[in-house]
Amino acid sequence: MIHQKETILIVDDSRLQRAVLNEIFSEQYNVIEATTVEECLKIIENKINRSIWCSLILSCPEWMALMY
């Protein structure tokens, strides 16, 4: 039986942070990356039908606007 990987979306404007997280998760997950909130929302609307949100740092004004 072929096991299909779950997908994880990494959102960060830092190329280095995305690369580190991609390296950590890519063996177990299909990794999609976004650099902005707008790009993230487009990906979620078009590609991801199930999601769990986890944010390590919410210092981005765009994310804060979504929370309130």
**DSSP readout, 39-51?**
HHHHHHHHH-SS-
pLDDT at 55: 58
> Residues 9-62: pLDDT tens digits?
898 888 998 999 999 999 999 899 999 888 988 888 887 666 556 655 556 666
Residue 1: pLDDT band with limits 50, 70, 90: low
The answer to whether residue 66 scores a pLDDT higher than 70 is no
CA distance 34 to 42: 9
pLDDT at 12: 87
Measured in degrees and rounded to the nearest 5, phi and psi for residue 9 equal -110, 120
Do 6 and 15 touch, CB atoms closer than 8 A?
no
